[in-house]
Structure formats: structure tokens, C-alpha cells
Amino acid sequence: MPTPPGLPVALVTGAGRGIGAGVALALSREGYAVALTARSREQLDETAAACPGPTLVLPADLTSPGAVDELVDHVEEQWAAPEVVVANAGAGVSASVERTTDEQWQQMLDLNLTAPFRLLRRTIPAMKAAGHGRIVVVASVAAKLGEPYISAYTASKHGVLGLVRSAAMELARTGVTVNAVCPGYVDTPMTEATVRGIVAKTGRTPEEARAALEAKQPINRLITVEEVVEAILTCVRNGGMTGQGLNVDGGGLQS
């Protein structure tokens, strides 16, 4: 449907649950018309139902060739070019380096690095033409720090932080900012999957596995979705901040 007059447009990937759903709801409350994408229509419909403002539900697999271009084309045709883009879609895989398969490696690069690159490439021209834009990539503290058994994930997140930094410098005089938010372990379904993986591989109880992840943050708890969303909103609101990787990890990685 047409965008109500005066409403800016935001696009959020991975908007079906967790951080993506949280930021979509927050942007809707801030007065944005929000385009939502993820693989699951059912989850997107739930997010859309919670948003007080207008939404577009656009299921897509962003790793498919051409999917990002088709997604943004649809938003522009139905509404207008997004002036806020939050690249949140992502996934993790756990394996030692010698046990990481080519398929696992490629999966991490495709979703965590190539998809955000394609999203930036497609949305930057309209932002430059408008003289205003905000791009926020949800990375991870793994974009700055190596941990064992997540080499493919870590490599993809290091790569996407490099993309953010280079794009920010290219766009510094255009009115377009590009930042990353780098959470620690967040209380989301993705972390629950990590807990299940620890249980399966180590024989620990779910409670023990969760406690181990909590202990990685000096505050000794998981980060909340709301804490990550607030950091994303800071990147959206603050035009003087660009090229940054904003840590939200309870003090684990100080910078």
C-alpha cells in the first residue's frame, strides 16, 4: 500500500524474531514505515502485527542471487527508497577449523557478509541522491575478537565490519552514515540454538551451557534485545557517528 504522507521508510532484514523484530517495532514506534524481510512469513506476520505503524511483509532468502535487488525494488515500488537500512539477518555455525566444511564456510560468508554487501550496494545510491541515509549492520563482538570453534562465523563478521568501515569513509561527506553494532551473547533464539549445540557436543545441561555464555560477559548475564535495539537507534539518530563498531557486550571487549 502507499506510504502515508510524511513517513520515512526503513528496511529491516532478519525481522522475524530476536533483534530484527525488536528494532522493527522500535522504528515503527519512532514513526517509520517499516519493510520487514526474513525467510519465514509466519514470523514476519507476527512482527508486523506488533508494529503500530504501516509495514510491508516481504519474505526472502537474501543469499539467493538477485534477492536483495528484488527486495529493494519492491520497497521502492510500493513505498519509496529506504532512508534507514538495518542489516540484521545472520546465522552462526560452530566447528573447529579442521572440521569446518566448505559448505559451512560458504554459508557464513553468503549470509553474514555477501548479503549485507549487496544490500549496501543497492540502497546507497538513493541515499546519496537524497543527501541523507542511515545504514546499520548488526555484526558481533566476533567482528573484533577471535574465539575458538567459530572461525567461519568470526571471519564473516570481521569482513562485514571492514565493509562498514570502508563504506563509511566513502560516504562521509554525503549525509549517509554506516555503522555496525557488535553484541555479545544476546537473549535470542540464536543463542538458544548455541546452548543446544553446547549441550549436544559437551554433555552439559542447558542450564550449565547458558551459564557459560552468561559468564562471557563481565556483567554475568546475556545482553537483552532491548539493549541492542537502543544501540541501533543511536546509530540511526546520530549523524555525527559513522564507521563505528559499537560494542554491546557487558564490558567484555573494551574500546
Span of 163-167, 175-179, 183-187 with lowest mean pLDDT: 183-187
Q: What is the pLDDT of residue 168?
A: 98
The larger pLDDT score, comparing residue 135 to residue 90, is at 135
pTM to 2 decimals? 0.93
* Cell numbers representing residue 70 in the block: 528484488
Burial classification of residue 216, based on how many CB atoms lie within 10 Å of its CB (0-12 exposed, 13-18 middle, 19 or more buried): middle
> What is the CATH T-level fold of the domain 9-184+224-248, as seen in this structure?
Rossmann fold (3.40.50)
Mean pLDDT of the chain: 94
Instruction: Using alpha carbons, select from 41, 78, 45 the residue that is nearest to residue 61.
Output: 41
The catalytic residue positions are: 153
Asked if residue 255 has pLDDT above 80, the reply is: no
Asked if residue 4 has pLDDT above 70, the reply is: no
Per-residue pLDDT tens digits for 9-48:
999 999 999 999 999 999 999 999 999 999 999 999 999 9
pLDDT level of residue 3 (50, 70, 90 thresholds): low
Domain residue ranges in the chain: 9-184+224-248, 185-222
